[in-house]
Every structure is written in C-alpha cells, then in structure tokens.
Structure 1
C-alpha cells in the first residue's frame, strides 16, 4: 500500500514540474528570442517482486516486475529559430542562421529535425549550430542571447533590454556615436559610419556548435561553462548567418501545444491526487477501524 502511495506522490511532483514548465513557456510567448523549455520525465528503476514464503519446492517464486513511478529528470531547451518579425526601432536586430554541418561518416549534410537535433544510429546527439549575440552579464562574464531588442544609453552605450552590455567582435562594450536614428548595420553585423557608410565596429556574434551545452541564466541569457565542449567560436565569413536590422526574433513557443500540455499535466496531477486520497482513506480505516478489532 505504501509503495502505491509513494508512486502517486512521485507522479504529482512530476506533473507539477511539467505544469510549471508550461506556465513558464506561456508567460514568455511574447519575449523576443525566448527558447521553449520541455520537461523530461523518467521512470524509477523497476523492482522485482517475489512471493514471501511458498512451498518447499518453490520457496520464493518470482511474481514479476513493478514500476515505482516517475520523476522529473531535467528541462531541455528547444533551440530552433523563432519567427522573424519586422520592427520600427533601429536598435532591434535579429540573427537569421542556417549553419550546415557535414557528417564525417557520409560526407553529407546532417538532417536536423525541427528541434535542431540529430541522433545518429549509435545514439550520439548532435545539435544544429546557432548564432548568438555576445553580451556581458551581471557577473562580468560572457553571455549569449537571441534577444536583439537593444537600447542605447544617453552616453551611447549599447545595452540589452535587461541592461547588459552588448559586446563587439573583440568582446568590448559597444559605444555608438551620432544619433540612434542614423544607426545602420549591414547584414554582416558591421556598424556603418553615419557620414561615409564605411563598416566600422562589428557586433559580437558567436556560433555555438553544441547549444545543448548552454545553461540558461535568466533574462534571455545563456552561459557556457566549457567553451571547447560547446564548440563556441567567432562568426566566420563562410557561416550562413545574416544580421537583420529593424527585425526581432520572437519566441519559438508553440502556444497551442503549450496550453494543451499544461491542461494534460493538470489532469494527470488531479488523477494522482485522487489516488493519494484513496490511500489516505484506506490507511485511516486500517488504523482506526480494523486495528481496533
């Protein structure tokens, strides 16, 4: 009986985590550059059940296996690009990338799925490389973001919407000269001189070869603990990445699917809750009524 109670309680905790993840996604539907998070559940190890006692020939016969419930293992971000929408602000930027990866075994381009992931026959997971703006977070470390809704301080410093410094290709803060309305940035990310149109400072854009190695830190930022393992490198001339001024990348959250999944998690939570209530009543009867006999 207690095993069933623990299984139902574990199911409630798992569905609570799933529900919270869906709420987070729905709350960030209109957040530029936000990447959807999926909650991943895994079952506890199965246990082998044997009969207590039994006859002399078969003193401990096996009855079979029993699953002891599930738990929320981790949250995985979906890194596929969101919809690109037009904006009127000259400080709004979107990164449009389609970086191909060649499979060394076949010499062909790897066919990534819609989530930007590919699993080979041996089970190895490869993520599609993505381009990110480089910023300096509150701890002074390099961070990465898809949110290109930048702003300019009175002294010309380019900041993210959360107030973090936007960096150039040399990881230095970008300080603009001239009026914001005259700001022009070409498709390669170079800030053009307002008077001559000559390319000057380049926006800091990093290519992350393994986005699955990134850690979400909040405010639309990611960090990388091991740049070598994540394959972080500077944007190259051969990379198929385009900077679009007056555009923003919206979140990649599927609102309909998120609402459906949230309601499904809620119903599953309520079902497990009913099981817990049933066990509670059964234990109450066993202790307070049957136990008196």
Structure 2
C-alpha cells in the first residue's frame, strides 16, 4: 500500500518542479534575450516484484511482474531558439541573428537539428547546434555570455551590459569608445565604425559556444561555462551570423504553450494529491477500525 503513496508523492514533487519552471518562463516573458527552460521528467527504473515462498515449497520465489515507482524531474534544458526582434532605434542596442551549421562527418551534409537544438546520429551520439552570445566580463574578471544586447556607454566610454558588465571585443578586451568613436555605428559583422565612417578594427566579441546546453545560468540573462575547457570561439565573416544595431532580441517564451503546460502541471499535481489523500484515509481506517478487531 505504501508503495502507491510514495509514487504519488514523487509525482507531486515532480509536478511542483514543472510548475516552478513554467512560472519562471512566464515571469520572464518580456525579459530581453531570455531563453525558456523546459523541465524534463523521467520515470524511476522499473523493479521486478517476486513473492518469496508461497504454496509450492519447491519454489523459493515466484515472479509477480514489474512495478514502477514513480517519476522525478531529471533536468532543466534551456531552449536557445531566437526570440522576436524589436526595433528600438538606440545605437547601443544590438541583436544577434545567427544560424550556425554543423557538418555531419558521416554524410558531409549539414545536420538537421530538432527544436531543442540537438541531433542524434545513427550511433546514438548527440550533436548540439552552436549558439552565439555577446561576450562580457563581470566585476570579478570572469568571462560570461549573454543574449541581452541592451548596452550602454559609461562616462569613461566603456561599453557596458544591462547588468553593468564590460562588453568585450574579439580579443577579450573591454570595449572603450573614445573621440569620434563615441558616435559609432556597427556593421553586420560587428565592427565598430566611428563618426567619420572609418572602421576602427574593433569588433563586438560574439562567442560561438559549440555545446550551449553545457552553459549554466547565473541570472539576469547571463551564462557561464560549466566546463572551463569547453569549445568556444569568436564569430568570423565565414559564419552565418550578423549583428543588427538598433534592435534587441525578445524572450523566446511561447505564452500560449506556457499556459497549457501550467494548467497540465496543476491538474497532474491535484490528481496525485487526491491519491495521497485516499491513502491517508485508508491508513486511518486501517489503524482506527480494523486494528480494533
């Protein structure tokens, strides 16, 4: 009897985690550059139930069948699909538009990724779609990555992110605008053009992360590498990516789908809750009534 109680309880905890993930997405519906999170559930491994002994003394045990012990929230996966672009007209706002391709070594053709940015080949190996990020440096001097291109210029000419981090160029050097470069424009490759129309040779540092699902969120739309030795390189002219000045990238959260998932999580939670209440009443009756006999 208690097995069912534990199964229902694990279902409640899993749906609570799912509910928290969806509400986090909804809360960041209007956050610039926010990437939605999906909660992945998985069932616990099945166990084989056997009866020891029984009516036949020649058999030490008899198999009764398999038994499932519930589900759990395995992980949270970020979706790096691009959000809708919104024009602001500000010279310090930038949006990254990219579609980086990966060649399948077996066929020589470009890999067709699924909605989550993954491709599983015939050998079961997973290939991730590379994603581009603006490169910034926090107050501790650590390199971080963000899709939030809403920048500003400090009084000393430093280009700063919305969180106040230094924006880096393609040499991991903080970008400082001086002289005519303060009235700047940026071309599609990310090169800063001064007020006289001359290229400064300084490019916005667009980092291409080969396995973005290995990134860890730090809040405020900022990510860090889980593996310091992970493959990261700067975008070049050969890559299929461009910078759009005067635009920002919106959140990629689908509000309709989020509301559907929220209601589904609430219904599943309530169902498991009723099962727990049923077991509670059954155990109460077993203790208070049957136990008296």
TM bin, normalised by shorter chain, reads over 0.9
Alpha-carbon distance, 1:161 to partner: 1.1
Number of the residue aligned with 2:155: 154
Number of the residue aligned with 2:290: 290
CA contact (8 A) 2:181 2:195 kept: no
Mapped to 2, the partners of 1:100 and 1:210 lie a distance apart of 13
Number of the residue aligned with 1:241: 241
Structure 1 residues 15 and 8, CA gap change in structure 2 (3 angstroms) = same
Alpha-carbon distance, 1:177 to partner: 2.7
Number of the residue aligned with 2:278: 278
Structure 2 residue 4 is matched with structure 1 residue 4: yes
Deviates more, 1:260-269 or 1:136-145: 136-145
CA contact (8 A) 1:19 1:265 kept: yes
Number of the residue aligned with 2:26: 26
Alpha-carbon distance, 1:183 to partner: 2.5
Alpha-carbon distance, 1:181 to partner: 8.1
Number of the residue aligned with 1:47: 47
**Aligned residue pairs: how many?**
292
Structure 1 outlier segments of 4+, above 3 Å = 178-181
Alpha-carbon distance, 1:162 to partner: 1.5
Deviation readout 1:131-177 (Å, 9 max, x if unpaired)? 11000124321101111011222222211112111111221222223
Alpha-carbon distance, 1:45 to partner: 1.4
Deviation readout 1:257-280 (Å, 9 max, x if unpaired)? 111001100110010011111111
Deviation readout 1:20-52 (Å, 9 max, x if unpaired)? 000011111111111110001111111111224
Structure 1 residues 178 and 23, CA gap change in structure 2 (3 angstroms) = farther
Mapped to 2, the partners of 1:137 and 1:283 lie a distance apart of 56
Structure 1 residues 255 and 179, CA gap change in structure 2 (3 angstroms) = farther
Q: TM-score, normalised by structure 1?
A: 0.94
Mapped to 1, the partners of 2:81 and 2:219 lie a distance apart of 18
Alpha-carbon distance, 1:231 to partner: 2.0
Mapped to 1, the partners of 2:63 and 2:129 lie a distance apart of 47
Number of the residue aligned with 1:139: 140
Number of the residue aligned with 1:89: 90
Mapped to 2, the partners of 1:53 and 1:4 lie a distance apart of 24
CA contact (8 A) 1:178 1:194 kept: no
Q: Which consecutive residues of structure 2, in runs of 5 or more, have no partner in the other structure?
A: none
Number of the residue aligned with 1:60: 61
Deviation readout 1:70-105 (Å, 9 max, x if unpaired)? 011110111122222212211110111111111111
Mapped to 1, the partners of 2:281 and 2:122 lie a distance apart of 50
CA RMSD of aligned residues (A): 1.7
CA contact (8 A) 1:90 1:180 kept: no
Deviation readout 1:184-235 (Å, 9 max, x if unpaired)? 111111111113432332111111111122111111011113354x421122
Q: TM-score, normalised by structure 2?
A: 0.94
Mapped to 2, the partners of 1:281 and 1:113 lie a distance apart of 46
Mapped to 1, the partners of 2:275 and 2:139 lie a distance apart of 46
Alpha-carbon distance, 1:59 to partner: 4.4
Number of the residue aligned with 2:15: 15
Q: Which consecutive residues of structure 1, in runs of 5 or more, have no partner in the other structure?
A: none
